[in-house]
Chain A
Amino acid sequence: MNDFDVTVIRQNWQFLAEGLALSALLVAVSVLGGVVLGALLALSRLSRLPLLPALVAGYVTVMRTLPLVLVLFWFYFLGPFLLGHPIGSLTAALIAFVLFEAAFYCEIIRAGIQSVRPGQAQAALATGMTHAQAMRLVVLPTALRAMVPLLLNQVIIVFQDTSLVYVVTLRDFMTAASIIASRDSRPIEMYSLVALVYLAICFTASRLVAALWKPAPR
């Protein structure tokens, strides 16, 4: 501990920055894919179609019960069987992340829609709107206000989750740092840096979310 060496960070900053860029890519794709697929899942779960709501509920429960590490292992293994040809580790990780995070986004979106009092939708229907119109013009705008802080907090959780691609040796920020840590025997410097960077980003982001979205008066 007597020789905390910052030069190892300076010498490798480009390698670390590339890692952070991959982390950002993973977050962007997981969040976009997760929200779109999650919204579809939530709407299917709330629909009155036969069987579909139960299937979606089962999917969401299973995904939420499994560790992300295991889901990553599954898709590394399954990738070639699903697509018929070998896939890169990045593709496999992206598929795993989107399918995994979609389950969490589905629950946030579903809870948001259900937080709108049923009287609102009934009133909309009574004015002659169709179900789709009532959903789009009355329920969703209100539901969205309730969901936004939760959706944004989930982005922070996804960012923390991306560190797990370490187990499949994709070179995200965490993995890049651990590669340097073992190559240059500098675990203290590297892991402290990683912790500080995650702490700074996640703390600032969660404070921003809390400050920008005060709970709406009911």
Chain B
Amino acid sequence: MNYRWNWGILLQDPYFGWLWSGLGWTVLIGLASWALALLVGTVAGIARTLPSRLVRALATIYVELFRNIPPLVQLFLWFFVFPELLPDELGLWVKRDLPFPEFTTSAVGIGLFMGARVAEQVSAAIRAVSLRLMPAALATGLRPLQAYRFILLPLGLRAIIGPLTSELLITIKISSLALTIGVLEITAQSRHVENYTFQGFEAFSVATAVYLLLGLAATVVMRGIARQIKPL
């Protein structure tokens, strides 16, 4: 088969604009869902190490539920099923008035899926340090809450910067799932360009380069953070 190369097409209107806005959506979904994943993951991860059996059980149910259903299915549940389960007025509001519905749903869906993965890392990290340090912290007169705040969390989170970097990379990758509910992020836009121009090599190369660069940027940022908070 013959292929006519045309890299110039990437800079032409409207294709350049499509790809550029796709990059923007990918970054936005990545950041929003990562923020949510860190928040929910830290809370659920801590909850899994608390003495209360009820709290631990709830956190475990969250983790198992969200890890064992494919993220694509979760997005569809949030988008198509969740609004129907709400009370009438609230459901109607979600369906009609939710700002940027596709984006918001993607960020929440991907954020909660990644949150379950982050929770696993956080609880493992806390367990690893608390075995030896919790008794020591309590013996110095710290209350349990203070022990978490001053000892377990700072030391535990430092130890998992590496695994958290991988989780951030996964978040960026699965932001591509947002295309299934209509967010035109970079993967969707590169397909869009291919459909219009048949210049698949060029279009998909752009998306590939975007993911490699974002992955590199995320790794550099996380390494910078790791260097700032050197482990003891």
Binding site for B on A (CB under 8 A): 1, 62, 64-70, 73-74, 77-78, 80-81, 84, 160-161, 163-164, 166-167, 174, 178, 181, 187-188, 191-192, 194-195, 198-199, 202-203, 206
Contacts and interface: CB of A to CB of B under 8 A. Distances in A.
B81 A167 contact: no
A11 to B, nearest CB: 20
Given A66-B173, A77-B204, A81-B1, A166 B72 contact: yes
A70 B73 CA distance: 18
B142 interface: no
A118 to B, nearest CB: 23
Contact of B65 (A69, A80, A178, A199): A199
Chain A residues touching B, majority SS: helix
Contacts of B173: 65-68
Given A74-B204, A181-B80, A192-B81, A67 B72 contact: no
A139 B176 CA distance: 39
B190 interface: yes
Contact of B187 (A69, A78, A187): A69
Interface stretch (B31-39, B95-103, B208-216): B208-216
Interface in B152-185: 169, 173-177, 179-180
A199 B169 CA distance: 24
Contacts of B77: 191-192, 195
Given A73-B194, A74-B204, A198-B70, 6 more contacts: A67-B177, A69-B179, A78-B200, A160-B71, A202-B68, A206-B68
A190 B84 CA distance: 13
A199 B116 CA distance: 14
A162 to B, nearest CB: 8
Contact of B85 (A1, A167, A195): A1
Contacts of A81: 1, 3
9 contacts: A65-B211, A67-B187, A68-B173, A69-B187, A70-B187, A73-B194, A163-B70, A166-B180, A202-B68
